[in-house]
Structure 1
Amino acid sequence: MTANKTTTKDARSPRKGVQTRRRDHDVVTLGIAFAAIILFVGTAGVVLPNLIEAWTGDNPSPDSALTNALLLNIALILLGWHRYKALTEELNSRRESEEEARRLADIDHLTGCQNRRSFTTALGDLLHDLERREEALAAIAVDLDNFKQVNDLHGHQAGDEVLRVTAGRIQRLLPEGGILARLGGDEFVCVVPYHPQVPDRVDQLATRMVENVARPVEYGDMPVDVTMSIGIASSTQMDNVRDGTAAAQTLMHKADIAMYHAKKQGKNRFYWFEPQMENELRFRNELEAGIRRGIVNGEFLPYYEQQIDLDSGKLVGFEMLARWESPEMGVVGPDIFIPIAEEIGVIGEMSEALITRAFEDAKKWDSDLSLSVNISPVQMRDPWFAQKLLKLLVRHNFPANRLDIEITESCLHENVGMVRSMISSLRNQGVKISLDDFGTGYSSLSQLRALPFDRIKIDRAFISELKQEEHGAKLVDAILTMSDGLNLPVTAEGIENEVVLETLKRMGKMKGQGYHYGRPEPAAKVLERLDQQNLLAKDRLDNVTEVDFTAQEHRPGGGKRAG
């Protein structure tokens, strides 16, 4: 810190010296001009009458020395005035440049609104003077939903246009006295004054933002969809508003917490800050840190759920399901950590580690047993995903025809072209591709025909309805009829009792999985199950037999008889 201050001071000192010298030159110039004027007055009083009389012919020419002195005085006066005028214009220009530089330092160049530094200062000043007025301030944090996808799919120029249009729309909605700033990326914040007894005014403003700002932005010939999450915090929720910048940062932080809560609740909505949100965010931050540590420490493990041929009751494979064996929280399900891992960008690293362990586990199974692996939609946005997966197959010498990749319907909605390319690359190497959670997303018959899927999985929500509602059976039957027409095998998820199982058996041939066949198990439990069913890999059985035989030979009396 000291070195930085010294450097700054040293860097500014030459400039200060130049300014001082220019002020000195300015004073000298004025002094010269003033002295020249005094001399001019004294000399002109003598020379000018003589010159006039000489020009009229009444007197001889005046003294040449006095005439030259007068001319020199005139030249000095003109020179001094010109120099003084030039210096004044230079100083005015420099002052205007410095003011413009200060102004530019306070605004966001892309959107034209204030930046974080200037907004924090302005909000601090407003809070400090708040007690003099009978009003409150509301800080409104705004974050665009899925903005990264806009840059990825349409380019950064489209993203810049979205930010400019969004800033303009928000600015037009702000009441008198409102201030808007862009904090960076797709994050905005504004502050608006309101009467503490009428907080509905702020609710109305936030509603108009969600409705009017969150509209498609035209970029070229393609509309870009925009939605936003909004968090609101009030100065009435603070103990001391006279802390200036510190109070401003506290109020912005509370609004930010409320905004993250809005994202968690489904996005494209707004929430006021409440104290328990801070506890939730703290827990969320602890989860994030725990997930990062867990990946490094190998705490994420594959569990396996049985997949059964419903007709024969034969075990045909396993679906790998992730579990987090946390030292602090115990076994944590994927519904807790998978969304967070996707948001913080570690889902790819986590998935690759799980798949690696699953390959090594599955190599110990009978070669007829398949391994199904769920792939996150976030991973499907990676254009190199197929190549990464194929490298893992080669590295671990795992047969591609035993691997079944399961992708959800939401992947199709985001980028059908890239998904089609990935599916084709994997299927060309023998990997099978299943469409997971069918019926809950965006897929259509045209997409099912265009994309080369090997299987569809009926979502457990439809299967669970078979035990009590008639229309559930009709939906499942319709899906099975469609799959027959497309020649796509079916797997039913969520089979939890005998009633559902018997109903599915009557509907047709398919695979099934669910708690009726047992809960997901860790690798060691799976090996015990397979050993009991004689479904371990043949080379593993051979190794066991060879070890037993070797042990028999070394047992006393176990060798060959002599003679």
Structure 2
Amino acid sequence: MRTKGYLLRQGLALFAATLVILFLIAVTWEFWLEVPAFKWLGWGKPPDLDTASRWRFILTCTGFAAVAMVVPWILSLRLIWRLRHRYRHLLAARAHGYHLARHDALTDLMNRPHFMTLLHARLSPMLEQTALLVIDLDHFQAINDAHGNTAGDYALRRIAGRLNSVRAVGDPLLGRLGGDEFVVALTGALTRREILDQAQALQGLVRQPLVCGHRREILETTIGIAVAPLNATSADQLLAAAYSAMHKAKCSGERIRLQDTFLPEAKQSDARHAQRLRQALDDGEIVPFYQPVVALESRETVGVEMLARWQHPERGLVPPDEFIPLIERLGLMPEMTRHLLDCAIQDARQWPGHCFLAINITASYLEDETFVPQMASLLERHAFPADRLEVEITENVLIERLDIVQQNLNRLHDMGVHVSLDDFGTGYSGLYHLARLDVDKIKIDRSFFNAEEIRQDNLVRMIIAMGRSLGMAVVAEGIEDERLAERLVRQGCHLGQGYLFGRPMPAQALRQHLLERHPPATDVRGHLCQATDITPQGAHHDCSQP
């Protein structure tokens, strides 16, 4: 906050500046503007004054103005100072109220709700092991009975101060659950021995003598310990497990007890995988791979689909089926999508030509209110044309909250981003979605190519005809042999994707793949129009030209 001296200096500067401006106005009026103004207003000729008289008039006006401003200036300074003083007190009161809402009034440690909120943040997602120690003071009620509640409150404050001063390992959180119970959370790669040593150190601090009334009291403690993810995977479960260990210790006469009831191995494994996956995301191990999309008739690469791959330092490339479902359950899909799209846009800027970049979006992210602004921010930051980005939405994700999805897709279209309906025909209401949503392209799911050939041709021909009638481009996925590709060309399918044209590959390999082809510059939009007699929405320029 500014000091009173600062306000005084600023006030004096403003006062002086005002006087200077008034002085300059008076000089300008007397020597240059008075005669033209009188003529323009029709007042005749102004009084003929000599130069000395004019200067006396100017100084007199300036002096009167200075006298007239002194009192308002002083009152204004006083008012500003009082407002700033009250604002400072308001901020202090607000900060104090914020602190009281999160801390115990007696011991100034974190209260139970705030402690549990921070503990939940540590466990979701679980990056590291967390040990929770519940500390209960044995026979504390005897102090209240013998010396009164005032002495008991004094003892609790002293104990809280001792616990707060401990040099604990594992980034400790310390709180008071209520009554004579305290809690400590330690996060990190701690061994069983290190956790027990920390508990013994806390017991030693509490055991130091206290002077209550005229007597020295020594308090003993019972500590129950639970560890996530061995004993629990959520904050509430972890606290319940630590309480259970503490009560078992009291019943058996122990001072410290580790929870001996473990979660099933499957849950522990999921928690460890979640921890490792979050670390992989933070370390940049999850990277984009790209699979080419070609114009079936010319076999020119017109775009790529971005796919997530986990480059595990020990296992190598981890299949997406092993980590994508867990990413979704952990709520990390938006974060992963933003990271991968950021990398992919940077890669796309290095590709020859102007191929489109397609990215799959999940339901949870598509229904997020921040989805469209985040996409716009990424495009703007990289100066990447919006019409080169294609958002692929799986038909099954559109069953719930269709209105929100529709609103977000319309906003994407307004930006110039294209929309593709992936896995068409495998959901519950594909035609309904096509009627409600502004879709530029449909992708025929690879499962249609596993049926008997006659039925397959009829289904594919029907989907292609429907796409033509709606003015949409059609993409066939999972093309692995030349015979299927040629049959799709005869049926009028626009685009194809599959191992026949290229497997998913990292950015450098894709760039080399594009450079090796050196096809002539071709406008894919024009090419598709000539081949199919339609203008497919969302068509893109060829990306293979060097």
TM-score for both structures, normalised by structure 2? 0.49
Q: Which has the larger radius of gyration?
A: 1
Which has more helix, going by share of residues? 1
